[in-house]
Amino acid sequence: MSLNVVYKKLTQEYCKDIVELHSRSFNYEHISRTIYASPKIHSYLASLMTFPEFQHEHILFGGLHNNELVSYAYFRTLDDSFHLNNIAVSPSFQGLGIGKAMMEIFRTLAIDYDCSKLSLRVSGDNETAYNWYKRLGFEQKQKTYIYEQMLRHGENDYVDGVELYGWENAQAWHNSYGFSNFEVRNGNDCWKIMRLNDSYFRVNGYVPTIIRSVLNILDPRRKLLILSNSPLNGPRVKLLEIDYWMEANMDMD
């Protein structure tokens, strides 16, 4: 196939194309555990591009062939690295060097942003992508175990002393984009909670009974999506996948 792919920074007009390409590039189970499960995700992506002269933390690049979006990558700046949030190449255009070209853009932008390290996450189920990143100079640094756990109705109604923070803003954000963040505090302890569409409360690490009870009161239909740096055991806890955090220094070949 003779290709003439034009790579450029994407604007708001491409947001629905980005979501459609993403849905063709990843399986439903993976998408259901991310913000891309929201039917309003295109509105969120558009909000990241509203004022490109001011909004530098999130960058979306794409490859266009005959004005059709055939690849996209979502980059963002972290405190200690330039991070690849997502990369997707249309299934019918894979194996043609487009992904490698997007990774070169990743590296070039990192230099522009004066970042000395690249980072990304990859699913342990995606051995092809994992090995590809290894060949590009990335090394595995950390495992993240992703679990699903059912909330038990009426598990524990004793929630005295527990407070919600940021709930009002979370409600407005959820109405706009279909996902949101808030905090649950109990004394000096704080849990950061993300709501994903209508399906999950996403949390990091073990969630004690009193916090599960609060979440059950907020929405008993949801399940817990637990991200942990170590294996968890317990009733109703199901391992969904293992993700790998990978990094590469800018002196990679």
Residue 155: the pLDDT is: 55
Residue 156: the pLDDT is: 56
Can you spell out the DSSP letters for 43-95? HHHHHHTS-TTT--SEEEEEEEETTEEEEEEEEEE-SSSEEEEEEEE-GGGTT
Residue 153: the pLDDT is: 63
Residue 253: the pLDDT is: 45
**Using CA of residue 101, residue 106, residue 109, residue 115, what is the dihedral sign?**
negative
* pTM, rounded to two decimals: 0.91
CA distances from 43 to 21, 99, 173, 225 (A): 16, 25, 11, 24
Could you tell me the domains of the chain? 5-115 (3.40.630.30), 146-242 (no CATH)
Residue 83: the pLDDT is: 97
Residue 174: the pLDDT is: 97
Residue 252: the pLDDT is: 47
Report the chain (253 residues): mean pLDDT per 10 consecutive residues. 84 96 94 96 96 89 96 95 96 93 95 94 94 96 96 68 95 97 94 96 92 91 95 88 95 54
- Rounded Cα distance, 196 and 178, in Å: 7
